[in-house]
Amino acid sequence: MATLQDTIAEMVPKTHICTKSKRWWTKELTQLRRSANKLGRQASKLSDCPYHKVYAKHADAAKLYHNTLETKAMTLERLVRKGGGTRHMDSTQIHLSTGNGWR
């Protein structure tokens, strides 16, 4: 048993949870957000060409990011309703912290 605990302490990365940490946030969400923001900046720079293909790419990337975020929020809300997954949060706090309704 001690060998297992030593291996876990050595190999598993430690996370530092602070008051502003979002346990449900993933690297996938970070990549999607960055991609959507980058395409949004490119679209903004090309505002004189309203039919440029970057507008469609930005819209697709923003929809994908938003849909993924909504899916994560709904999954987390279901976990809270079942009584597992998160401590110290009710569904109202999750709804507010996930960014639902940001449009």
Residue 51 covered by a domain: yes
- Answer whether residue 11 shows pLDDT above 80: yes
> Would residue 72 count as lying in a domain?
yes
Determine the average pLDDT of the residues in 12-34.
Answer: 84
* Token representation of residue 5: 């605990």
How far is the CA of 50 from the CAs of 36, 55, 57, 60, 95, in angstroms?
Answer: 18, 8, 13, 16, 35
Flag whether 8 is in a domain: no
Sort residue 35 into left (φ over 0), alpha (ψ -120 to 50) or beta. Answer: alpha
Domain that holds residue 52: 26-82+90-97
In a domain, 12, yes or no: no
Q: Is the CB of residue 33 less than 8 Å from the CB of residue 62?
A: no
pLDDT in tens, 25-84: 889 999 999 999 999 999 999 988 889 999 999 999 999 999 999 998 888 888 878 775
Indicate the number of domains in the chain: 1
For residue 46, being part of any structural domain is answered with: yes
Is 65 part of a structural domain of the chain? yes
Query: Is residue 68 in some structural domain?
Result: yes
Residue 19 lies in a domain: no
